Structure 1
Amino acid sequence: MMEIPKEQVCVLIPTLNEEPTIGPLIQKFHNAGYYDILVIDGNSTDNTRDKAYQAGAKVIIQKGKGKGAAFIQAIEQISKPYVILIDGDNTYDPADADALVLPLLSGYDQTLGNRLIPSNHVSFNRLNLTGNRILNWLFKISHGRYLYDILTGYRAFTLASLQRMRLYEEGFGIETEISSESVRNDDKVAIVPVSYGVRIGSDTKLDPIHDGIKIGRTIYRLAKLNNPMFYFGLIGLIFLLAGGGIGIYIVYEWLLKIDHIPLTILSVTLIIVGIQIVMFGIQADIQLANQREFLHEIQKLRKEK
């Protein structure tokens, strides 16, 4: 088994009111041999920061709000070549950290800790488990890559892969944006099963319905960077279906000797606009393919040097 240079790994923990769990979580990482712990706190109103500091972590206070804003801010504070990202609620097991780091030593850019394995199903209610599966398949359809668990809060990265990412999401959409950026950058992503337990001692910040809809919108919005044909094609399809539906109604009424000149104009306009949007998606898809080929050639030249 390859020896892991744990002194070159930074463990990043975004927190918000995690007083009951942050201390034991840090201690578990210390027991596993990881001592560079960075806690970025979103202005907790409990004793999270004190508990983290007493447990031996470096603590910084977040400037903005949201998990995404914390992650983006923290990247600038990290100099170690490998980074582990983990939630502060103690639902993930630090004993899995070695399994997450190992692929990075073998040339992978990112490791994703997959929670959605059968042994962890007892830790999810039916709504959350179904919602996660739906969002994973939506991501596959819209981004062209199945990553098993795009919303996991347990990941490992090379610092170089993090610095390539263009991240803007301030809230829980950050996991989706990280997954999208890994596809856009054509990163090598390893999938590793991890343990996932029931959240104890603090309330969840996620609303399954509200946040699920927001994440779904984020997946679709980010698709224009990775799969413009899907993004613009869906919009074009809506216009085409609307124009076609009105057209069928017009034809039916025409057979009854009833004319609808304004609706005819609207139907033709919607169909033309739909076709134009679809054509724009095709052109954008071709340009994206050319751009990726160009980037691959640049990467080859860099490796040859």
Structure 2
Amino acid sequence: MNVRILIPALNEEETIGDVIEGFKRQGFERITVIDGNSTDRTRDIAKEKGAEVIVQSGKGKGQAVREAFEILDDDVIVMIDADSTYMPEDVQKLLEPIEKGVADHVVGNRLLNFEEGAFRRLNLLGNRIINLIFRILYGVNLQDILSGYRAMTKEVYKNVNLEKMGFEVETELTVETIANGFRIMEVPIYYRKRRGKTKLKPFSDGYRIVYTIYNLLGRYSPGRYFYLIGLVFLLLGFAGGIYVVYDWFRNVSHFLLVNLVSMLVVSGILIIAVGFLSDSMMRVNIQIKREMREIRRRLEELESKGD
């Protein structure tokens, strides 16, 4: 496989050289640093270490990744942060499922094995809550959707639609992968303590990520929007119905409220039914995409054997 290492970076002069050297020791020569207009020596050090350097045209990690995906054309991209928290030595763990043909997108799970001090208690708790919310809403058993160390095939990174500009990009990449019917899996990796000051803002970035998880729900399971709205209508209808029945036993009638309650209950049921139909259509679409890719893979294998 033709593998490219992609390193988004912003003011990482302290660690960028170590990350590049680590991949060089693993035998990877195709290394691209996409730099967010660093004000330190990040670009100079990257060039000295033999990496290709691209200065991004906009701002934010999400915009940098999107721009890199448009420019690059390699069989597989391995994306890693420039802060030396991830180990280049773990790269084969991410590439192996792709080489074996069992995954299109592989995510490094940091939460199973990490250095003491790599996560603050608040950050670790936030990570676990965000991942739990994702599993509940999407029904996909992924433990670390925020990991910045991942490998993906050309078919994945050329077909994902990235719109988020900042740290939400990992979440969007994950959602786009499953929404397009690509196979995604996790492998355990080691996570180290960051050297230098983190750019992550726990509360504001955490809120944006949770909002992104909900906001992107429509790409994977549009029916779940309808389920939530329908459930609210039903709950309001049932609450109003209990009040109407309670007063009816006290010989107090609420004719207008009865009509409103009925409308809420019926509307809730109809909205949930629409959600079910939308979900079914989306899942059929995802399944068709998977099957088409599998047919294409098999045809390519037959062609290569024939050659």
> What's the TM-score, normalizing by structure 2?
0.88
Cα distance, 1:259 vs structure 2 = 4.3
Give the CA deviation at 1:53. 2.0
Pairs within 5 Å for 1:11-30: 11-30=5-24
Superposition misfits of 4+ residues, deviation over 6 angstroms: none
| Partner residue, 2:122 | 127
C-alpha separation between the residues in 2 aligned to 1:55 and 1:297?
43
2:242 aligns to what?
248
Residue 112 of structure 1 aligns to a residue in which SS?
A: strand
1:182-261 equivalent positions in 2, closer than 5 A = 182-201=177-196, 203-261=197-255
Give the equivalent residue in structure 2 for 1:167: 162
d(CA) in 2 for partners of 1:115 and 1:300? 30
Residues 136 and 146, structure 1, Cα contact 8 Å, conserved in 2: no
Deviations 1:67-87 (CA, angstroms, capped at 9, x unpaired): 111101001221221211001
Distance in 1 of aligned mates of 2:291 and 2:144: 30
Moved more, 108-117 or 237-246: 237-246
Equivalenced residue count is 298
Q: Deviations over 1:184-227 (max 9, x none)?
A: 233233322111111112x2222222222221121122222222
Q: Single out whichever of 120-129 and 68-77 deviates more from structure 2.
A: 120-129
Q: Deviations 1:151-173 (Å, cap 9, x if unpaired)?
A: 00001111122112222222111
- 1:261-280 to 2 correspondence within 5 Å? 261-280=255-274
Distance 1:35 1:157 in 2: 18
- Tell me if the contact between 2:113 and 2:188 (Cα under 8 Å) persists in the aligned partners: no
Residue range with higher mean Cα deviation, 73-82 or 248-257: 248-257
* Residue 44 (structure 1) shift: 2.0
Distance 1:295 1:82, change over 3 A: closer
1:68 corresponds to which letter in structure 2?
Answer: G
Q: Give the residue type in structure 2 aligned to 1:283.
A: L
2:71 to 66, 77, 84: 77
Identical-residue share of aligned pairs (%): 43
Bigger drift between 207-216 and 148-157 goes to 207-216
Q: Pairwise mapping of residues 79-98 of structure 1 onto structure 2 (< 5 A)? A: 79-98=73-92
- Which residue of the partner structure matches residue 138 of structure 1? 133
Kept in 1, the 8 Å contact 2:180–2:289? The answer is no
Matches within 5 A, 1:151-162: 151-162=146-157
- Supply the distance in 2 between the matched residues of 1:239 and 1:209 (Cα, whole angstroms): 31
Aligned partners of 1:143 and 1:183 also within 8 Å: no
Q: Rate the CA distance shift 1:35–1:71 in 2: closer, same or farther, 3 A.
A: same
Deviates more, 1:276-285 or 1:189-198: 189-198
Distance change >3 Å, CA 269–CA 121, structure 1 → 2: farther
Shift, 1:115, TM fit: 0.2
Q: Secondary structure of 2:57's match? A: coil
Distance in 1 of aligned mates of 2:138 and 2:182:
13
- Gaps in structure 1 of 5+ consecutive residues: none
Q: 8 Å contact 1:142–1:231 — kept in the other structure?
A: no
Does structure 2 conserve the Cα–Cα contact (< 8 Å) formed by 1:15 and 1:87? yes
TM-score normalised to the size of structure 1?
A: 0.89
Unaligned stretches of 5+ in structure 2? 300-307
- Give the counterpart letter for 2:266 in structure 1: I
The answer to whether the 8 Å contact 2:181/2:290 transfers is no
More divergent stretch after superposition (50-59 vs 113-122) = 113-122
Distance 2:59 2:248 in 1: 58
Q: Secondary structure at the match of 2:71?
A: coil
Three-state SS of the structure 2 residue aligned to 1:44 is coil
Query: How many Å apart are 1:260 and its aligned residue?
Result: 4.3
What do residues 260-279 of structure 1 show as CA deviations (whole Å, max 9, x unaligned)? 45544443333233222211
Compared CA separation, residues 91 and 293, structure 1 to 2 (3 A)? closer
Counterpart of 1:200 in structure 2: which amino acid? R
1:65 paired to 2:59: yes
- Counterpart Cα distance in 2 of 1:185 and 1:62: 27
CA deviation vs aligned residue, 1:240-284 (integer Å, no higher than 9, x gap):
112222332333344444444554444333323322221110110
